[in-house]
Structure 1
Amino acid sequence: MKLTSPAFAHEGKIPPKYTCDGENINPPLVISDVPAEAKSLVLIMDDPDVPKRLRADGMWDHWVVFNIAPSLTEIQEGKEPPGVHGIGTSKNLNYYGPCPPDREHRYFFKLYALDTQLNLPEKATKQQVERAMEGRILAKAELMGRYERIRN
Structure 2
Amino acid sequence: MAQTQTLQVSSFAFDKNAPIPPNYTCDGDNINPPLRIGDIPENAESLVIILEDPDAPKGTFTHWMVWGMPPRPNIEENSEPDGVTGPNGFGENKYMGPCPPSGEEHRYFFKVHALDSKANLDPGSTREALEAFLGEKTIAYGELMGTYKKS
Q: Which TM-score band applies after superposition, normalised by the shorter structure?
A: over 0.9
Determine the structure 2 residue equivalent to 1:110: 111
Q: Which runs of 4 or more aligned residues in structure 1 lie more than 2 Å from their structure 2 counterparts after TM superposition?
A: none
Question: Which residues of 2 match residues 3-152 of structure 1 at below 5 A?
Answer: 3-51=9-57, 55=58, 58-70=59-71, 72-102=72-102, 103-150=104-151
Q: Take 1:3 and 1:126, find their aligned partners in 2: how far apart are those partners? A: 21
Deviation at 1:119, TM superposition (A): 2.1
Q: 3-state DSSP class of the match of 1:91?
A: coil
CA distance in 2, matches of 1:126, 1:34: 23
TM-score scaled by length of structure 2:
0.92
Q: CA RMSD in A?
A: 0.9
Give distance in 2, aligned partners of 1:148 and 1:125.
28
Query: What is the distance in 2 between the residues matched to 1:5 and 1:128?
Result: 28
Aligned residue pairs, count: 144
Residue 116 of structure 2 aligns to which amino acid in structure 1?
Answer: D
Structure 1: give runs of 5+ residues left out of the alignment. Answer: none
Q: CA shift at 1:99, angstroms?
A: 0.4
The one-letter code sitting in structure 2 at the alignment partner of 1:136 is K
Q: Residue deviations 1:80-135, cap 9 Å, x none?
A: 11101111101121110000014000000000001111221112121110011112
Residue type of the alignment partner of 2:95: Y
Code of the aligned partner of 1:48:
P
Deviation sequence 1:19-74 (CA, Å, 0-9, x none):
000010011111111000111110000000011xxx2xx1110000001001x121
